Structure 1
Amino acid sequence: MLVDSIHRDHRNISRLLRLLTDKLAAIRSEQPVDYGYIRDTLLYLKDHAERCHHPKEDLIYHYYLTNYADTEGVAALDEEHETLAALTAEFAISVDMILMDSVIPLDVFAGKLTEFVEQQQRHLELEERSVLPAIEKALTAEDWNYLQSQWEEEDDPLFGEQVAARFKALAAAM
């Protein structure tokens, strides 16, 4: 079912956020950090989440808004997805700068990483704790069948059956 794949994506994104939290702890304790894992996490989020995951959610959310009352503030999620995409792109620039040996104070980078992780976690919690339960309660089997017919699932390049070459190191690190 379509909603099951969203929950699965959320669990996978949460795993990546835990990896980023571990990297943040290492940065704060001045331990060596492989910033390539942070870059690869952002690449995955930019590729999969923004190209596949959020559009899948948006399909469901727009259908819900068209056919049901917006009791959980679902309409605000479009803007939140745009904000998260911008935050991801901005943070990716900082990671790229570090990987190109630019000097960024670690406390500044740690602050950006903290903000990124917290925003992502807050968004996932909002969807999992209030938005998706309300939608799951409201939508009928017929609604879900219609939505499923409108969506073609793509292979997940990190958590799917076949890990893409560019994510093999990240997959091994998790």
Structure 2
Amino acid sequence: MHAIMTRLGQDHARLRRVLDLLESLLDRFHEGDEPDYALIDALIEYMDCYADIVHHPTEDLIFRRLIDKGVEPSEVFGIPMRQHPGLSRLTKDFRQSLRMILSEEVLLREDVEAAGRALIGNQRGHLIQEEREALPLALKYLTEADWIEIELAAPTLDPVFGAPDPRHFRVLYRQLIEQVRH
């Protein structure tokens, strides 16, 4: 398997863990508990930045290449490409709700929870569609030359100015797991 596909698979696995954790926190929030909103906001920031800067643009390169090659059904690739901006918007909306809570604005719990659950549900559906339909076709139809061109065009994070600190986010993730366990 090509390195980009390995990275995308790892991204999806990490995102699933984050979504599971977020769902557990929302379940507790629904019951009246108050999670550490700053920690959740930081984790959502990572999801938001990485998805917008690296993950979705890389997938779009792959899907565009498949469309350009005439691989059918092209809608299998068009759907996730159209979903990417919507997923970004849902993430930003949920993050905005968290920031409003952090700035002590009054929000209905139901609205915050609904924004989080919309994000989780849409992300999960999106992952399933990509993994069951779109990405297997990429493995089947893209050549080594295609993968090389995609890799050269794919965005990478700037190690100084654009790279979220993975250790920082791992610590946040562990802290959120501890919140769920207690």
Instruction: Give the TM-score normalised by the residue count of structure 1.
Output: 0.87
Match of 2:19 among 12, 17, 23: 17
The aligned residue for residue 90 of structure 2 is 87
Distance 2:122 2:105 in 1: 25
The aligned residue for residue 133 of structure 1 is 136
Q: Is the 8 A contact 2:43 2:172 kept in 1?
A: yes
Structure 1 ranges of 4+ moved more than 4 A: none
Alignment of 1:56-135 (within 5 A): 56-71=58-73, 73-135=76-138
> 5+ unaligned residues in a row in structure 2: which ranges?
178-182
Describe the superposition over 1:4-38 as per-residue Cα deviations: whole angstroms up to 9, x where unpaired. Answer: 11111111111111111111111112123111222
Cα-Cα RMSD: 2.0
> 5+ unaligned residues in a row in structure 1: which ranges?
none
The Cα of 1:152 is off from its aligned counterpart by: 5.4
Distance 2:72 2:38 in 1: 41
Secondary structure class of the residue paired with 1:73: helix
Do the aligned partners of residues 56 and 90 (structure 1) sit closer, same or farther apart at CA in structure 2, a change above 3 Å counting?
Answer: same
Q: Is the 8 A contact 1:158 1:171 kept in 2?
A: no
Distance 1:152 1:95 in 2: 28
Identity of aligned residues (%): 27
Instruction: Give the TM-score normalised by the residue count of structure 2.
Output: 0.83
Do the aligned partners of residues 51 and 85 (structure 1) sit closer, same or farther apart at CA in structure 2, a change above 3 Å counting?
Answer: same
Describe the superposition over 1:113-158 as per-residue Cα deviations: whole angstroms up to 9, x where unpaired. Answer: 1111101111111111111112211112332233223335436636
Describe the superposition over 1:80-131 as per-residue Cα deviations: whole angstroms up to 9, x where unpaired. Answer: 1111111112221111111111121222211221111101111111111111
The aligned residue for residue 180 of structure 2 is none
Q: Is the 8 A contact 2:90 2:119 kept in 1?
A: yes
